[in-house]
Structures are given as C-alpha cells and as structure tokens.
Chains A and B, each alone.
Chain A
C-alpha cells in the first residue's frame, strides 16, 4: 500500500451550493471534522494545500471513524483522506510517497522479505511494523512508566491505610480476646481465629474493591472517550490487576491481623479488660 502523508494545511470550505464541475474527485473525512464543520456525505468542498490557493472542488464520499490510536488522542486535528495521485498533484509532489506498506505471507517470511528488500533498496529502508511501533510509541512508554510510578505510590498509601485499619480493628477485640483467654482458649486458637477474620474482611473488601474499580474504570473510559472523541479504552481492569489487588489486600490483612492478634494474645487477660 502506497501512502503520502500531507503535513500541509488542507483548507476545507463547504460549498453546498457550488455548481457541479464535471466529475469531481472524492475524499473521505473523519467524523470529528464532519461533526464540527457540519459536513455530510455528498457535500462538495474545496481542498487546497494552503490558504488562499484556488484548490480543487471535491465531493465527500465517506465519513470514517477515527482509529483507537493513542498517538492522536491529544491532537485536535482533523483527518482528510484523498486518492494518492490527487494528493500528490495538490502538493506538487510528483509520484513521491512517504512509505510503502508491504504485507508478507506469514510472520516467518517477514525477516526474509526485510533482508531482501534492504539488500536491493536504494534510497529507502524497510522496517518491521513492530520496530516502527516501538519507535513511535516512546511517548506512551513514558506515560506507562509514570502510571506505574503513581501505582507504586498508591499501593504504598493503601498498604499503610490497610495496616492501620486492620490494627485498629483487631485492637477493638481486646475484651473478646481476654474473655477467650479466661475460658481457656489457646493462644494459637485465638491468633488463628483473628487472622481468619482478618482474611475474610480482606477478601470481602477486595471483592467490593473490584466492583468499585470496575465502575471507576467504566466512568474513566466514558469520560475520556467523550473528551477526546476516540474509541480508545483508557482504563482496562485485567485479571492480573485483580489478582494483584486481591493478593496485596489479603497479605496485608493477614499480616496486620497476625501482628495485632499476637500482641493481644501475649497480653495478660485482666490487662486487656483494663483491670
């Protein structure tokens, strides 16, 4: 597939009342431009490479949905698709193109095709799509690292909060623990029961947290998809994330429960009663 990317301004002037001129070329515009300029399929517009130039009258043949491309979300620009020869002629670029897309016969033949093209190439170079994707997604690698860093801070804050809550929760059971000790329950039984209770609270909290997380993710996606007018999903709750959250809260719950229960179990029952 040959393609030419125009970085020049394309001036689009809607001219619904324009007199038909022979057989005008067709273009496709993205839905954002269609919505903002009030354009519909069949409308005639003038496209030019620079403001002030006469340009060509063309007909809007299609309205295309924007791809879920993170590289485009923060850019408010419009996209117009023209036939390659038409754009080359508008820009005065002759038959030059920016790139060719080559579809190989399966992943195995990509390396072979790459080396053969590069061996014969003169003035251009072939790259794997995956390599191009890595190079062009450096911005998102940075955003991803930033998200991970924020995630670490959030996990530390949550861990401290959880520890604090569990410590207080177990501390509230001083009288119950004292009573159990006085009727002859062993330290092991008391610690075990408190840890079990802490684990149950942690699991229930995790289940509620998954629900809240799922709802928050849905709201985030709805909000940002509307803000940036893109089908891109901004937040995804994956199995790994759920597993990490549940495991983390379970470990923190059990550890804090065990620490607090152990302390209570080793305190004299009457002291726990405040006597």
Chain B
C-alpha cells in the first residue's frame, strides 16, 4: 500500500545485562498509515517509549540498541541508517513531542529561538522569514499573542502552553510522521482534552501519521484510529480502535481494560453519615512572595473553605493542579499552617495547638502520599518503617513489630516483607507499605493525597480495592485527594470539586456525576479522556 508511512518489521531492542529481561522490545511489527493515529499502549516498563525512540535513533546507545529488525521510512531503514542521514530526517521528516513540557524545552532560550532552530538546521530561509514562520506556527497551535510567546522563556508559560509550543516545533516542517510520547500525561485533564483535540486537528489537516504512546485507555478512545498493545516488550494485540476496545482478544488486553476505572458510580450501599470527625471552618491560606523591601503579590491557595468529614465516609477532593486540594488536605492534618479559620478534630479545635500539644492528635490523622518511591525511608527495613509511629506513641518495640507484620498481611503483602528494604518492592507494593504505615497508628482519619496517580492502571485498581476494603473493615474516615474524576467516583461517597482555592460544588458522588450543577464540574466531566466511550462501555465479563 502506498500510504504506509512507517513500517516496523520484527524490531528487537536489547537491554544491557542485569535488566529484568534481555530485550525491551521483542519482534515487534507495526505499520503506520498517513492520516492515522496509532496508539501504542502499555504499562510502565512495557518498552513502548523505547520503541518510539528507536524510530528516531534516540535510544541511549550503546547500552540499549536495536539488535534486529527493520524500521522502514520513506524507503530507508532507520535501524541501520548513518547518523548524518538520520539527523536530516529528525525534525524535518519526523517530529517528536515528549511527556514533560517542563523539561523538554531549554530553560535558557526563548521559545521563538528554539522553534527557529528547526528552520536554521533544515532550511536556508532568511532571518525575517524564519521569524514570520515561527509566529505563524505559534498561531496555528492556538497560542494567544504568538509574538509575545515567541519572546517568552519556557518558565513564563503554563504546562499546556509549553506543550503547544512543543507541538509547533515538532510540526514546523510538516513532517510525515509525528511521534508523541505520553504528551498529555503531565497535564491537567481540561488541558489534556485541548491538546488531544489540537493534535487531532493538525494531524487531520496535514495528513500526518501519528505514533501516540500512552498508558491511558481513555486517551486511546479519544484519539486513536489504530491500537497496538505492548506487554513486556511483546506486541500482544493490534487492530482498529473499536475492535480492540470493545472486543479485546488477548487476555492481557482484557485485564487492562477491566482495570480502567469507569466514569460511572459503582453500586454500593450508601454509608450512613456518622458524626463529624474532622472539620475545616472558613480556612484561608495564601502564599506571599515577600522580600526584605519588595512585597510580591500573594497567591491565594485556600479562599475561606469550609468542609466536614463524617465518620466512616470517604470524601473526595477533586480539582486540577493549583486548585488547592492538596493544600486543604495538608491544612486539615495541620501539616501546614493556615492564616485564618479553624480545624476541628472531634469537637476539639486543633488549629493553634503547640507542637507538643498537637503530638497526641497526630496519631489520629495519618497520610498516604503520592510518590511511593520518595515517601519511604530507603535505609529502613519495612518493619521498622511501619513500627516507628507506634513506638513514638509509646507502644513497646516488640508489640509494634508484631503489629507491623499483621498489618502487612492486611494490606496483602507477605509478612516476610517485613525484613526487606523498600527498594526491593514495586510501586504498587510500596504504596501498600505506605498504607500499612498509616494504619499502624490506628488513625480515625486517613488522608490519601493522590495515592494511585503514580501507578499503572492494573495496580491502581488493586490499591483502590484495598483502600475501600480497609475503610469498610476498620470504619475509618478518608479524605481522598485526586485529579482523576474516574477514581473519585469509584471510591468516594461524597465529592468536593475545587477550583482556585474554593469548593465550587460538593455533594454525594452519584449526584455530582449525574447532575453536576456548577459549569466547572461539567467541564471537568467533559474533559475526562474517553468519557463517551467509558459511559457506553460494557463491563467485561470476568
């Protein structure tokens, strides 16, 4: 067929000795056609990013390299092409965008200069012409005031704006192929929807073939024409989007799809609202940029927020980055000082307690953090990590250690894990350890700050199950911070939607879902990737 842009044949990428498997990608076959978006989906470590980088010859050679197979593009085999010829293709015939718009641009160069660089490398255009093209490109990706953006440095733009600039740069010379490596993963959900829309629009306009790397089936549902599923370096299933999403053939695809949180409220018995355990009354917090002589503008992180957490309920704090959801959670645990307002724990104001007076209350509110890699002390054994809290609060060391082992059983880990160190565990297992640590103090309130957002979907589902299970078993209350509405619906009884430091809407999960009253809540639901697909998706039979 003549419209084939990229033909990957039997591609194998080897990993250095000592890696968990001999090759990152094994015998992969994939064909990309002009005007189509092909999504390569897989969990972390599946080799999807390396496969994409192999196309552009960006593997971290010589440790990781293509050992066999061909990558055919415009009659050339990119797997064996000379570096000099490869450089001519990069940026001109194949463009690429990356996951982290924060770091993918040189922080010291202006946006305009970085885009202009593409023209300087590949064309003989004059200075004025290059400048004009840059401004036009920035306008094409719908950036406001392109002249000003061109003069800006990366740190002066938002994440979404930077990603638009990256797209402008990748598409500068109208390449035949665009490789997008998780381009929306680091963005807020409404920004993600806009960027997906933009990629779709530009790709249709120019007939570009797109290789889109993602881990999110919602994104696949929104943007893909073709889907290829990668499991530990092996392509297990590929085909048109609807076929793969609605009638998956391979057990791995089925399992992945089953783990995707649906945009529905699961049937579950309504919890009887108990007494108020933890309450924030009119809490305000702002961050002022202040110097000795200069007074900066204050950023209002919490704008007089009041919220109540009842015994035995899970309250979700949902919002985009900068909405104040994490700030509120931290303020309610008194990990963060507040400017005004009150925090009440079971009828007692803890707002102004001195550190010493606060200490006995600390036990009653425990946190689970987002990053399972950074939140456990790497030099302590798991048993010591879990037992440390109880020992501080006066439990005998022996008793605390025994309790730690019981807790490991409760969170679904083998008690033998107690004698090992955190680095020996996977992300999901570490998050279980984190939960066990929080539970060791027998808290009344568990505050979970994005506890699953760093995890793969299948692991995410397991950890969410565990949290729901523990809540039911122990009857504790949970404050659940998340940016993901799907996750919030799955686990929360009530949801508070936050924006600009205020709660714009609060109510039972079912009501927020079926009848959102605030326009922002509606916008959030609309922006959830794969919203339409998710709603109609039949729940696969187990």
Asked if A pairs with B, the answer is no
Residues of B with Cβ closer than 8 Å to A? none
